[in-house]
Amino acid sequence: MRVLFDVEARTDAAYDSTYHHKLRGAIWNALEGSSHVALHDSEERTGLCYSNPFPWGGMDAGDERHILVSSPRDELLATIAAEWLDANELNVGEMPFRVTEMRDLYPDVGEPGSTGRMRTETGVYAVLPPQYEDDDSGEYETYWRPEHSLEPFQKYVEDQLQLDHDQFQPGYLPGPAEVAAPLFDEWNCMKTFSIPLTVTTGTTLTVVLSKWEFTYEVRDDNHRRHLNLALDTGIGGRNGYGLGFLNIVEREGSAV
Q: Reply yes or no on whether 41 is catalytic.
A: yes
| pLDDT of res. 80 | 96
Q: Which fold has domain 2-105?
A: Alpha-Beta Plaits (3.30.70)
Q: Does 115-251 match 2-105 at the fold level?
A: yes
pLDDT, mean of residues 110-123: 96
Predicted confidence at residue 42, as pLDDT, reads: 77
H-assigned helices in the chain: 20-31, 74-87, 150-168, 221-233
Q: pTM of the entire structure?
A: 0.93
Question: Who wins on pLDDT, 153 or 36?
Answer: 153
According to the model, what pLDDT value does residue 140 have?
Answer: 67
User: For 203-235, what is each residue's pLDDT tens digit?
Assistant: 899 999 999 999 999 999 999 999 999 999 999
Length of the chain as a residue count: 256
pLDDT band at 252 (very low <50, low <70, confident <90, very high): confident
Domain 115-251, classified CATH 3.40.190.10, yes or no: no
Name the active-site residue from 6, 12, 16, 41: 41
Task: Convert the pLDDT of each residue in 37-62 to its tens digit.
Answer: 888 877 889 999 999 999 999 999 99
Q: Where are the domains of the chain?
A: 2-105, 115-251
Do the bridges between strand 124-125 and strand 186-200 make them parallel or antiparallel, or are there none, so unpaired? Answer: unpaired
pLDDT given for residue 88 in this prediction: 82
Indicate the pLDDT class of residue 108, thresholds 50, 70 and 90.
very high
CB-based contacts of 200, cutoff 8 Å, min separation 6? none
